[in-house]
């Protein structure tokens, strides 16, 4: 018996060891499996980063109002696609309400083709003041409102208003309120002003805050999210009707006509079968379309000829449209007609009977009849060389454009402050107003165009092209326009693809 017991104990001990060993192995194995599982999805534990850069492909006919379902790519840095990651499913609630989710990487374009991507920079919505529990009193500014009156309405003292507007240069702009803007007020426990903001528009707000040191002001700019959109159409009826049918607004149609207005006379040369394609910007706030941005690149096919334009802003911030192939400016150095909505009342001739002088005289300009006060625009960029009364010309402005060209504007009722002698004026800038000073029977603009001092017919003289891309910006222009054209072609290609699919009969 005595032998048995120790033996039993030995056997038992052996069994215990086996159980413990097994348990240890099981624990280690479980731990290893867990380790593997958790290491498979480390991304989901990381919060998503903002701001995002996003690019949307919009083809006419698709619903532009559902950004969430649109193929999109996001990265961290504006203007550059640097990374390509999936959005974490368990990411925290974004603090910025204008964050666009959710990217679908499998449907999106490869990153290297997206260098022309538009940007979104999300900023905190202005209405979020995290530490405040109080609510804002809101007042929409109506015509006839003044800050003084609104302060009175709010039972705030004129002294407070005076203290605010004299606190800084920025705070002074508070006084400049316009109908449609919104004023928002938050009070402290004593019912006096704690914070005041003017919401100028959805992107711009002026915020005034009371601090221990007085009033502090801050301008809050919310950057819009920019997306690319594409439209195309064929002329069947008119530029406006067919433009609208392809989804463009009247303003965009005007913009397109302005870009190609130097190549095509839309009133006379537009033909049935002409067509256009354009890539433009759409600006979004909080995922909702806020407004259209500019046309970025466009093509207009008119009577067997194709005209192209690409928008480019120089590093010194001058924006114009250029031919992507040769970098030539789409504009000419001169506009043909310096007054809008005018009627030609007298043409250029070498001899004519002057109604006031009662004798035959040459008329070396064009007369445009227009109501007194109609603005007169500088035909081109140049320097004002003369401003004053000039005999029968009455009030006159003369502009020198480079070394070769001079323009003259006569019979003005008054000058604009931009046209003082020696001032540089830009093309289209108002220099004065139509009148009938000097020898004039009725209000009109007498306009002259001289090339190397010789009078030429302003209606027929060949107008030089505006300056092309300067050499120092040529490389930058080439790079940027190549990107834009690539994006444009991708949209156009997608559209063709869709058209092809729709045309293919279902049975084969
Ligand atoms: Zn005249």
**pLDDT tens digits for range 353-395:** 667 766 667 889 999 999 999 999 999 999 999 999 999 999 9
Between the CA of 452 and the centroid of ligand 1 the distance, in Å, is 20
Domain boundary among 456, 472, 493: 456
The one-character DSSP state at 175 is: G
Q: Is the peptide bond before 51 cis (omega within 30 degrees of 0)?
A: yes
The yes-or-no verdict on residue 110 having pLDDT over 60 is no
> Which phi and psi angles does 132 have, rounded to 5°?
-90, 140
Q: Residue 19's pLDDT band (boundaries 50, 70, 90)?
A: low
336 assigned to some structural domain: no
The yes-or-no verdict on residue 485 having pLDDT over 90 is yes
- CA dist 293 and 52 (Å) reads 19
Residue 29's pLDDT is 52
Angle (nearest 5°) at CA 425 between 371 and 320: 100
Domain count, the chain: 3
358 assigned to some structural domain: yes
67 assigned to some structural domain: no
Which domain CATH number covers 168? Answer: 3.10.450.350
205 assigned to some structural domain: yes
Mean of pLDDT values over 447-470: 92
Residue 341's pLDDT is 74
b/e string for 110-126 if b means 16 or more Cβ within 10 A?
ebeebebbbbbbbeebb
The yes-or-no verdict on residue 507 having pLDDT over 50 is no
Between the CA of 376 and the centroid of ligand 1 the distance, in Å, is 15
Highest averaged pLDDT of the listed ranges 27-36, 351-360, 398-407:
398-407
Between the CA of 362 and the centroid of ligand 1 the distance, in Å, is 10
Indicate the average pLDDT of the chain: 77
Angle (nearest 5°) at CA 123 between 118 and 129: 165
C-beta of residue 411 within 8 angstroms of C-beta of residue 435: yes
Residue 503's pLDDT is 62
DSSP string across 423-476: -EE-TT-EEEE-B--SS-SSSEEEEEEEETTEEE-TTTSPPPBPP---HHHHHH
- As a whole number of Å, the CA-based R_g of the chain is 35
Residue 278's pLDDT is 96
Angle (nearest 5°) at CA 230 between 224 and 233: 145
86 assigned to some structural domain: no
Share of the chain above pLDDT 70, in %: 71
C-beta of residue 395 within 8 angstroms of C-beta of residue 435: yes
Residues 6 or more apart in contact with residue 169 via CB below 8 angstroms? none
Residue 175's pLDDT is 87
The yes-or-no verdict on residue 50 having pLDDT over 60 is no
Nearest one of 227, 235, 223 to 296, comparing CA atoms = 227
Residue 20's pLDDT is 57
Alpha helices in 126-275 (DSSP H): 147-153, 158-165, 169-172, 239-245, 250-260
Between the CA of 346 and the centroid of ligand 1 the distance, in Å, is 7
Highest averaged pLDDT of the listed ranges 59-63, 314-318, 341-345, 348-352:
314-318
- CA dist 299 and 308 (Å) reads 4
The yes-or-no verdict on residue 311 having pLDDT over 80 is yes
Angle (nearest 5°) at CA 369 between 390 and 396: 15
Residues 6 or more apart in contact with residue 458 via CB below 8 angstroms? 336, 348, 365, 366, 447, 448, 449
Which two tokens mark 392? 């029968």
b/e string for 199-216 if b means 16 or more Cβ within 10 A?
bbeebebbbbbbeeeebe
Between the CA of 402 and the centroid of ligand 1 the distance, in Å, is 24
89 or 294, higher pLDDT: 294
284 assigned to some structural domain: no
- CA dist 428 and 405 (Å) reads 16
Q: Which of 16-20, 72-76, 218-222, 253-257 has the lowest mean pLDDT?
A: 72-76
Between the CA of 365 and the centroid of ligand 1 the distance, in Å, is 6
Does this model's pTM top 0.95? My answer is no
Between the CA of 269 and the centroid of ligand 1 the distance, in Å, is 29
92 assigned to some structural domain: no
The yes-or-no verdict on residue 73 having pLDDT over 80 is no
Which two tokens mark 234? 């064929």
Between the CA of 453 and the centroid of ligand 1 the distance, in Å, is 18
Mean of pLDDT values over 111-121: 30
Mean of pLDDT values over 325-350: 88
Between the CA of 446 and the centroid of ligand 1 the distance, in Å, is 4
Burial class (CB in 10 A: 0-12, 13-18, 19+), 59: middle
Between the CA of 351 and the centroid of ligand 1 the distance, in Å, is 12
Share of the chain above pLDDT 90, in %: 54
Residue 494's pLDDT is 85
DSSP string across 278-325: EEEEEEEETTEEEEEEEEEEEEEEETTEEEEEEEEE-TTS-EEEE-TT
C-beta of residue 239 within 8 angstroms of C-beta of residue 270: yes
462 assigned to some structural domain: no
Nearest one of 354, 372, 343 to 443, comparing CA atoms = 372
Between the CA of 66 and the centroid of ligand 1 the distance, in Å, is 58
Residue 108's pLDDT is 33
Residue 343's pLDDT is 87
Q: Using DSSP, state whether 377 is helix, strand or coil.
A: strand
Q: Residue 16's pLDDT band (boundaries 50, 70, 90)?
A: low
**Structural domain that includes position 27:** 1-40
- CA dist 64 and 339 (Å) reads 40
Residue 84's pLDDT is 27
Between the CA of 353 and the centroid of ligand 1 the distance, in Å, is 12
The yes-or-no verdict on residue 493 having pLDDT over 60 is yes
Burial class (CB in 10 A: 0-12, 13-18, 19+), 88: middle
Residue 66's pLDDT is 34
Residue 265's pLDDT is 82
Highest averaged pLDDT of the listed ranges 106-120, 358-372, 407-421:
407-421
The yes-or-no verdict on residue 117 having pLDDT over 70 is no
Residue 379's pLDDT is 95
Q: Residue 134's pLDDT band (boundaries 50, 70, 90)?
A: low
The yes-or-no verdict on residue 396 having pLDDT over 80 is yes
C-beta of residue 445 within 8 angstroms of C-beta of residue 433: no
359-to-201, 355, 414, 444 alpha-carbon distances in Å: 60, 7, 28, 20
Residues 6 or more apart in contact with residue 66 via CB below 8 angstroms? none
> Which phi and psi angles does 484 have, rounded to 5°?
-60, -45
481 or 120, higher pLDDT: 481
C-beta of residue 438 within 8 angstroms of C-beta of residue 397: no
Between the CA of 367 and the centroid of ligand 1 the distance, in Å, is 5
Residue 409's pLDDT is 98
507 or 117, higher pLDDT: 507
Residue 287, sorted as left (phi over 0), alpha (psi -120 to 50) or beta, turns out to be left
């Amino acid at each position: 018996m005595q032998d048995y017991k120790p033996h039993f104990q030995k056997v038992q001990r052996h069994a215990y060891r086996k159980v413990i060993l097994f348990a240890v192995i099981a624990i280690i194995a479980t731990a290893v499996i867990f380790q593997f599982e958790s290491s498979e999805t480390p991304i989901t534990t990381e919060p998503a980063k903002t701001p995002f850069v996003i690019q949307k492909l919009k083809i006419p006919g698709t619903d532009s109002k559902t950004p969430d379902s649109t193929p999109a790519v996001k990265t961290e840095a504006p203007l550059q696609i640097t990374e390509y990651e999936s959005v974490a499913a368990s990411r925290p609630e974004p603090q910025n309400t204008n964050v666009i989710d959710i990217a679908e990487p499998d449907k999106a374009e490869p990153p290297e083709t997206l260098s022309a991507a538009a940007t979104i920079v999300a900023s905190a919505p202005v209405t979020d003041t995290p530490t405040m529990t109080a609510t804002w009193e809101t007042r929409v500014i109506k015509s006839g409102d003044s800050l003084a009156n609104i302060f009175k309405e709010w039972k705030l003292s004129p002294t407070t208003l005076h203290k605010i507007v004299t606190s800084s240069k920025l705070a002074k702009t508070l006084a400049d309120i316009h109908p449609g803007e919104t004023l928002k007020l938050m009070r402290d426990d004593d019912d006096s002003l704690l914070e005041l903001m003017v919401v100028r528009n959805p992107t711009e707000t002026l915020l005034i805050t009371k601090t221990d040191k007085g009033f502090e002001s801050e301008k809050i700019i919310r950057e819009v999210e920019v997306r690319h959109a594409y439209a195309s159409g064929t002329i069947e009826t008119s530029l406006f009707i067919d433009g609208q049918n392809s989804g463009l607004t009247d303003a965009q149609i005007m913009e397109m006509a302005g870009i190609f207005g130097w190549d095509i006379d839309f009133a006379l040369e537009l033909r049935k079968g002409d067509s256009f394609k354009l890539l433009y910007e759409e600006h979004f706030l909080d995922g909702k379309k806020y407004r259209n941005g500019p046309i970025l690149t466009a093509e207009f096919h008119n009577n067997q000829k194709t005209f192209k334009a690409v928008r480019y802003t120089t590093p010194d911030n001058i924006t114009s449209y250029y031919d992507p192939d040769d970098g030539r400016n789409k504009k000419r150095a001169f506009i043909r007609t310096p007054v809008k909505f005018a009627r030609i009342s007298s043409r250029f001739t070498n001899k004519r009977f002057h109604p006031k002088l009662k004798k035959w005289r040459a008329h070396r300009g064009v007369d445009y009849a227009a109501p007194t006060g109609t603005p007169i625009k500088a035909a081109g960029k140049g320097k004002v060389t003369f401003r004053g009364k000039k005999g029968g010309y009455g009030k006159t402005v003369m502009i020198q454009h480079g070394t070769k060209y001079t323009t003259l504007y006569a019979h003005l009722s008054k000058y604009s402050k931009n046209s003082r002698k020696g001032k540089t004026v830009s093309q289209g800038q108002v220099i004065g107003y139509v009148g009938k000073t000097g020898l004039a029977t009725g209000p009109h603009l007498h306009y002259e165009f001289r090339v190397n001092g010789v009078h030429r017919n302003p209606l027929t003289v060949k107008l030089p092209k505006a300056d092309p891309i300067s050499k120092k910006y040529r490389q930058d222009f080439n790079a940027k326009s190549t990107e834009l054209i690539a994006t444009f072609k991708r949209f156009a290609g997608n559209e063709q693809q869709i058209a092809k699919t729709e045309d293919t009969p279902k049975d084969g």
